[in-house]
Structure 1
Amino acid sequence: MRQCDNGEEGDAAPLRVAVIIGSTREGRLGDAIARWFVERAAKRDDLAVSVVDLADFDFPARYPDRVTEPMAEFTAEVDRAEAFVVVTPEYNRSFPASLKQAVDYAYDEWQTKPVAFVSYGHGSGGLYAVEGLRSVFTELHTVTLRNGVSINLFDCGDDVLDVDAATEEHRDRAASVLLDQLGWWGLALREARKARPYIC
């Protein structure tokens, strides 16, 4: 079996969390939802949060023979992070092709790290997309979190963040639980990587 060296990090250092915006469509809601989530995550001093927006990367239309600079930059972001929050819409009961394309550019860089989901969609709140992503990230040797944030766009007006007090409280509580679990798993897996190499 191959042993994977995932590096080490001091136990007291904030957990490096990458929030990945998975949609690149014009008129998308993912950037607004990601900003909402990052505002809540940034209040915690145990997390160091960065945003990785797939729309900022000029990925090739076809998988090339050699890695391009944007592909390498994205993979480096994955490698740097110790935990992930994937912000994904649901398109036709699945997640965006742009997200699958980017996820496939990395492999070892994902391993032994936790992945959480903030999803959105009409009716289902994006949960079909999340279920599909769980299979993908399991194949990449990550730990996917049970709890996430699911935003039903039928609950929103013209502004996805303009909701009633009860809906806002529910979203905030879900985000808090997600961040608590992500922090726990992130630190536990950091310690595990430090204690012994992962067999993959």
Structure 2
Amino acid sequence: MFFLPEQVSEYERKRMTVREVQQLQIFVSDEASAILWLRQQLANKPQTSAALTPQFMQELRSWQKHEVGVEMVELLEQNFLRYFSNGPIPGQIVSWLKKSTDMRDLLAKEGRELEDGSVETDNHQLKSRARDRWYVPDPNKAADLEKLRTKSLLREFATYQTSKGKLKQFRTEAVRAGFAQAWRERDYATIVQMAERLPENVLQEDPNLLMYYDNASLRVN
């Protein structure tokens, strides 16, 4: 399967939201796979960061050496939503609560379900059970989070541009975001210059980065 550079970001975004991801065994080796792993866990069961942390730490044994470590909390804040117990309980958490007979009965008795699947309630037990759980946002809110995350990644990429020499440790996601932005702006020279500062094996083994580099190389004067 081949994509033009401008199609890659959309493909990656959709790939990360498909239901089949829930069925895969994900090996966490970089930021992108860490986000996929978190998405899988939270799609199955909204969880608190305290519950996720020991599981997440066990998954980091295959983390690639060139990848800068990223805190789990940062990944959660940039890609998912947290329920603070104010306002209706989100539909994603409601769906999980309904798996329990007791919670399902309590929701029916003490809650009022809204059109979007969320539930309004003043019941302390329901609020307490849902509080501080992270969950997968719906597509519209996910798009807003993605914009904020991209801004953060581009700031990181900008620091790489001002540094000198080969990049030894970096966030591959930041480089991908930077290449995508440079491509949109037709700044092919930046893509080529930064690609040549990456470890050769990283560039050759990442289809996304390599595609941007190959296409940009053809357009540099």
TM-score (norm 1): 0.35
Say which structure is richer in strand.
1
TM-score (norm 2): 0.33
Q: Which has the larger radius of gyration?
A: 2
Which structure has more relative contact order (CA 8 Å, sep 6+)? It is 1
Say which structure is richer in helix.
2
